[in-house]
Amino acid sequence: MRDSRPYPAPSLPAPPLWEQVAAGFVIVMLTGALIGPVFAPDQGETPILRLIWLPVYAITLGLILHRLGRMASAWPAWIILGLLTLLALASRYWSIDPGVTDRRVIALFMTSAFAVYLGAAFTGAQLPRLLMYTGLVMAVGSLVMVLAFPAIGIHQAENAGLWRGLWYEKNQMGIVMVATAVATAAVLTAPDRDERTVWTALLTLALSVGLMLGTQSKTSLLCLMAGLGVIGGLWAMRRGGPVLSVVAIWGAVTSAGIAAWVWTDNSALILELLGKDPTLTGRTDIWESLMRRVAERPWTGFGYSAFWGKESVPAHYVRLETGWLVPSAHNGWIDLLVQVGWPGAILVGTVMAITLIALIIRLGGQGFREGGFSLAYLLVFAVLSTSESVLLSHANLPWALFLALTTRALTPDPMPRRHSSTVPLARRPRGAYLTSPRIVPN
């Protein structure tokens, strides 16, 4: 009887356990879990936080040195990292707070360097698997905080009753749980899935989705639906063959067009149904005020990571115009414009476009082996960037994961051959039926 199960796609050996633990630790730090709320409850920059990051940078450098061979093969990603860092560093010459810009550029470089390491060292399904286990640890810790220490794990004043787990606020936990859920779904659909970890993956998926729902973050919910939709669609296309693939692509394009048309004509009604006011909780007022600041310095911005300082005059005008202490633009692209101007926005947009094209080209090989994680998370990141300030950000997991995907997309694939997800039509004849050649060479 023919075995109907798909052949597992071969994969490279996973990094040793100690390396996975070290990388997982850096990932947890990039989320800001627990450390920030404990040592800087007002979300300000403190000397102790700078000291805490020094060991993280040391671990990052150690991991990079340990994988020098793979780091060299990721040279396109290093070029991109260099261009982004040089742009941020150049902004110190017109920054309204050069000291902050200098410190944040260092943090940006180290975060991005770790991202390049992450994308180059963890191939195939190894990256989503690492994110799944790391996310499970943070999910369990968040659940403990919500149930046992609600003063920390649940908002008490603003957004009272909404879950925030190990983080400052609900949106942070929401996007971490979304990344965990998307990575776990990719692990479940990857061809080299280990059947012994299925129950762990299902538990992680259920826990991360439950915690995300506890935040009641509409942005996180939209990101989750987008990410899981891509992974589910790619899995169905692999299993259904070329006919279903054509139908799925046609349906996706048509649905996107209809959704765009409905949103254009009924955006206010849709927002009300989602429990949002048409101003997106005052965000449109912030964006209008910020675009007036952008018009003052369209090509330079006000310096990398300098705009939202406590002594910032342009930020003070925004807060006066909106009537509240605005902490950020709540839009990655506008925040990028006020920091490094249109050159920065164009550069980041170009990197995203290159990443998308490369991931689509490599979908049949690398994308298949990783369960479609890269393409799914790229869509999550694109959606998130319209609501949160995650572009070109220092010490930030969403940006690090995006740059890791860029690295995976541009680094030579160690296993470029495409592996079919179905059983071959004909098997190799068994040895018992083989006969020796009738003509023997002299």
pLDDT digits 0-9 by tens, 75-109: 999 999 999 999 999 999 999 999 999 999 999 99
Q: Is 43 helix (H, G, I), strand (E, B) or coil?
A: coil
Q: Is 163 helix (H, G, I), strand (E, B) or coil?
A: strand
Tokens of 390: 């995650």
Location of structure tokens 């309204």:
96
Tokens of 435: 């006969």
Distance CA 152, CA 148 (A): 9
Q: Is residue 212 scored above 50 in pLDDT? A: yes
What percent of the chain is predicted at pLDDT more than 70?
79
Q: Is 154 helix (H, G, I), strand (E, B) or coil?
A: strand
Cα angle 29, 31, 37; round to 5: 85
Give the count of beta carbons closer than 10 Å to the beta carbon of residue 122: 25
**Of the candidate ranges 119-133, 185-199, 410-424, the one whose mean pLDDT is the lowest:** 410-424
| Nearest Cα to Cα of residue 204 among 221, 218, 186 | 186
pLDDT of amino acid 432: 47
Give the mean model confidence (pLDDT) for residues 153-170: 84
How would DSSP label each residue in 240-260?
A: HHHHHHHHHHHHHHHHHHHHH
Distance CA 324, CA 282 (A): 10
The distance of Cα 240 from the centroid of its chain, to the nearest Å, equals: 28
Dihedrals phi, psi of 15, to nearest 5 degrees: -55, 155
Using only C-alpha atoms, the chain has a radius of gyration, in whole angstroms, of 24
The pLDDT mean for the chain works out to: 82
The distance of Cα 144 from the centroid of its chain, to the nearest Å, equals: 25
Cα angle 227, 232, 236; round to 5: 150
Location of structure tokens 């996107």:
256
pLDDT bracket for residue 119 (50, 70, 90): very high
Distance CA 258, CA 270 (A): 14
Give the count of beta carbons closer than 10 Å to the beta carbon of residue 196: 7
Longest dimension (CA), the chain: 96
| Nearest Cα to Cα of residue 130 among 370, 437, 438, 322 | 370
What percent of the chain is predicted at pLDDT more than 90?
52
Q: Identify whether the C-beta of residue 328 lies closer than 8 Å to the C-beta of residue 287.
A: no
pLDDT of amino acid 194: 77
Name the residue type at position 378: L
pLDDT digits (tens, 9 = 90+) for 284-306: 888 899 999 999 999 999 999 99
